[in-house]
């Protein structure tokens, strides 16, 4: 009975779904962070964005790459058809909720928004970098080499 309500998709589509969601979230964070820098002159904006890029690269390499690889391995072990919501583990949903709550709390705080541009664009860069690995896995499975 419960299987009738399971929105199952071919497993390899979970890589595309994860990549799309990481791209959307990362792009939104980068866009917001960049918009908050609008009142500054180019040299300041460029230096903040360069710092964001460096933080994003380090954050991805030292923290998030492992998370993405674990998710790719977990998805690869799922049945050939899996629930569309299985693109992340249940703990991932908890992390998403915590990160969204933290972002909303920071945005709603009395901090000037330009202070948030660095962490927002850095986190956005991390998510965009992670999305590339999900897309690569999707295309590696969807378009196998002969």
DSSP states of 9-73 as a string?
EETTHHHHHHHHHHHHHHHHHHHHHHHTTTTS-HHHHHHHHHHHHHHHHHHIIIIIHHHHHHHHH
Supply the pLDDT for residue 146.
Answer: 58
- Percent of the residues in the chain that have a pLDDT greater than 70, as a whole number: 95
**Cα maximum dimension of the chain:** 61
pLDDT bracket for residue 138 (50, 70, 90): very high
Average pLDDT over residues 119-133: 96
Average pLDDT over residues 88-97: 90
Residue boundaries of the structural domains of the chain = 8-142
> How big is the chain by its Cα radius of gyration, in Å?
18
CA distance 4 to 46: 52
pLDDT digits (tens, 9 = 90+) for 46-87: 998 999 999 999 999 999 999 999 999 999 999 999 999 998
Report the predicted TM-score, pTM, of the whole model to 2 decimal places.
0.87
């Amino acid at each position: 009975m419960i299987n009738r309500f399971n929105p199952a998709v071919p497993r390899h589509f979970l890589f595309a779904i994860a990549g799309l969601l990481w791209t959307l979230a990362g792009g939104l964070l980068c866009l917001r962070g960049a918009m908050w820098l609008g009142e500054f002159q180019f040299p300041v904006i460029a230096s903040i964005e360069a710092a964001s890029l460096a933080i994003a690269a380090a954050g991805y390499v030292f923290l998030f790459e492992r998370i993405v690889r674990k998710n790719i391995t977990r998805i690869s072990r799922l049945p050939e058809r899996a629930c569309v919501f299985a693109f992340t583990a249940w703990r991932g949903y908890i992390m998403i909720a915590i990160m969204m709550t933290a972002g909303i709390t920071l945005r709603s705080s009395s901090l000037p928004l330009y202070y948030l541009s660095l962490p927002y664009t850095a986190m956005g860069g991390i998510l965009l970098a992670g999305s590339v690995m999900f897309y690569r896995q999707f295309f590696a499975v969807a378009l196998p080499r002969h």
